[in-house]
Amino acid sequence: MVTSWMMSAFNLATVLGVPIGLFASGIFGWSDMFLFMGCLSILVSFLFLVYGKQSLKKKTFTFKVHFSNIKKALSLNWKLSLSMFFASASYLSVYPFINPWLASKGGWSVSSETIVFFIIGLTGFVGNIVSGFILQKASAFKISKQVWVIQFFIIIILFGVTYLTKNTFIFIGLTSIWTFLTGIGNTAFISNMGSRGGEIRGSVMALNNSSIFLGFTLGSFIGSKTWGIAQDIWINLLLAVICSLLSIYFIFAKEKQISNNITEKV
- DSSP character string of 132-183: HHHHTTS-HHHHHHHHHHHHHHHHHHHHHHHHHH--HHHHHHHHHHHHHHHH
pLDDT at 264: 45
pTM of the shown model: 0.79
- Other CB atoms within 10 Å distance of the CB of residue 232: 17
pLDDT at 5: 52
- H/E stretch holding 259 reads helix 233-265
pLDDT at 118: 83
The series of mean pLDDT values per 10 residues for the chain, 266 residues long, is: 54 64 70 76 74 57 70 80 92 91 81 83 85 83 91 96 91 94 86 70 77 90 90 92 95 82 52
Q: Within 13 Å, how many C-alpha atoms sit on residue 12's CB side? A: 7
**Domains in the chain, CATH or no CATH each:** 2-54+66-252 (1.20.1250.20)
